[in-house]
Amino acid sequence: MKKIKLLLITMLVIGLLAACFSEEGGTVTDTKEGGKTTIKVAYKDDGPSNEVAVKYYETLAEKLKADKDIDVEFELVEVAQGNYSEKLSLLLNSGEIPDLIYFQGGDQQIANQDLLLDLSPYIEKSEYLKDVLDPHHKSKLANYPYLLWVKPVGHKVAVIRTDWFNELNTSEALIANPTPENYKTFFQELVDSGKADYATTVAGDISELDHTFEMAFGINKTWLETDNGFVFSKVSDQEKEKLAFYRDLYANELLDPQFLTKQWDTKEDAFYSGEIGVIAGTNGKVVDFYNSRMKEINGDKAELTILPPAKGVYQGFGATDITKESRGLAISALSENKDLVFDILDYLASPEGQMLDRLGFEGEHYNVKDGEITLTDKYFAEWYSRYWEPIEVDLGTPISDETPMLSAPATESQKVVNQYFEEDNAFLIPEEYVAQWDAMENLYKEYSADIITGKQPLDTFDEFVEEWYAAGGEDLTKLANEKLK
């Protein structure tokens, strides 16, 4: 009896140790079960425990079989809870590389090891994808062909409650001529009228304000062209002027005094409760969410109005970085099903694929009646497109005007962002500069925060510029002038 016990325990221990240590990293094998090819997918929040995600991929597999005779099944990889980019990076670095991977940063290190597929030749040969790409997608793919993200250009757009906006005397002047001065006057009236405690705030990061104001001060690219070559915009005279403006807003209590410690949730709460009058949100879905939440709390009259970007030397929401997509889908270069995975991505850009990806499940997220698609409450509550969101979408059937995919303010935010689209001249920071770049960014963050909040005089900016060049800016500027000339 004792021997049997000992044997069982030994087997248990060996099993435990094997489970702990046997995970050998490497490629994903072409597993076929019942003629089906298994495609491993790593996507944020889409683990096997997410019922909506499981149903999505099951439905996608059915549609692929029916429409394209592609016989696949999807295996969702459970990425550990927490910061997705960090956890995904740990997963990939352990050697487990799924066929299809959604990145939210951290992709460059994987691409540098030749583990991501160059998508350019595939896109060129694609049936649908090549036609839904905007110019900025093409530019990004030309620079970095490993990541694809067919979504509208994203910028932060300033929004305000329409009822408040209509009641302010300075609104008309702001729309007619949105200079930084007129913005300040508008903000001042917003506070003086007692509507909001502070005109605007950000979630700890002043760059949210930059989307509205930066270009008015002449910052239209990351590297500004001067008579002496290219200069990094954050150490330019234009930057100093912009910081002086923010400093003025802060000193006049128009910018929330606690903007440095605000989080995204406390920022939104302050907006809905009326403590703050204007906040910035990403065009499209985020503005849509702000709008529906604001109406839910303060009634339909509080629907949001989109404010224009400030006008000065230039006007716009800032240049769009085209070095690469900051997030998106990639295919593992080690996958044995590369062509198949790309075919799936291509299918998702087709009208049939878009019906699923954009609208969800029929009868649940939308209904088709009298030749029109009506979106349900469940669609607005839980659905989002996991893959492609081209601006022009052909679903074959029109969507009812009563239930548009995006609210009027959200649609307007998309429109204005596209109207002011401009390409940036930023380039990828080489790996050997990563530590220096981190130090230079921290220098900027701290000096700019101190200047805006009045802890340091405006002239400290010159001290910052000197320190920035000494911390590695000199080398980087030299590199920029070589790359951009």
Partner 1 sequence: MRVKLKRMREDWVIYFMILPAIVFFAMFHVIPIIEMKLAFQNYRIIGENTWVGLKHFEILFSSPAFKDVLWNTVIISTMKIIFIFPIPVVLSLLINEVRSGTYRKYVQSISYLPHFLSWVVIAGIWISFLAPDGGVNIIRNFFQLPSIDYMTSKEHIRWVIVFSEMWRSAGWDSILYIAAIMKISPSLYEAAKLDGASTLQQMRFITLPALASTVVTVFILNLGFFMNAGFDQVFNLMNDSVISKIDILDTYVYRIGLLNGQYAYATAASLFKGVIGLFLILGTHFFSKKMTGKGVW
Footprint of partner 1 (CB under 8 A): 9, 13, 16-17, 20, 25-27, 85-86, 89-90, 92-93, 95, 97, 105-106, 108-110, 113, 115, 204-206, 257-258, 260-261, 334, 431, 434-436, 438-439, 442, 445-446, 448-450, 453, 455, 471
- Closest to partner 1 by CB, 296 or 438: 438
- Closest to partner 1 by CB, 17 or 142: 17
Distance CA 249, CA 201 (A): 11
CB of 223 to partner 1, least distance (A): 21
Is residue 396 left, alpha or beta, with left meaning phi > 0 and alpha meaning psi from -120 to 50?
left
Instruction: Assess contact for 414 and 391: CB atoms under 8 A.
Output: yes
* DSSP class per residue in 257-302: TTTTT--HHHHHHHHHHTSEEEEEEETTHHHHHHHHHHHHHH-GGG
- Closest to partner 1 by CB, 163 or 450: 450
Distance CA 218, CA 221 (A): 9
CB of 446 to partner 1, least distance (A): 5
Distance CA 2, CA 129 (A): 66
Q: Return the structure tokens found at 261.
A: 């410690």
Adjacent-strand bridge partners of 32 = 37
CB of 434 to partner 1, least distance (A): 5
CB of 143 to partner 1, least distance (A): 19
CB of 449 to partner 1, least distance (A): 4
- Closest to partner 1 by CB, 169 or 258: 258
Distance CA 55, CA 61 (A): 10
CB of 79 to partner 1, least distance (A): 14
* DSSP class per residue in 332-375: BTT-TTHHHHHHHHHHTTSHHHHHHHHH-SBTTTEEEETTEEEE
- Closest to partner 1 by CB, 399 or 429: 429
CB of 253 to partner 1, least distance (A): 11
Q: Closest Cα partner for 339 from 123, 132, 60? A: 123
- Closest to partner 1 by CB, 334 or 416: 334
Distance CA 125, CA 107 (A): 24
Distance CA 130, CA 44 (A): 25
CB of 339 to partner 1, least distance (A): 21
Name the burial class of residue 399, with classes exposed (0-12), middle (13-18) and buried (19+) by CB atoms within 10 angstroms of its CB: middle
- Closest to partner 1 by CB, 17 or 66: 17
- Closest to partner 1 by CB, 256 or 346: 256
Q: Return the structure tokens found at 210.
A: 């930059």
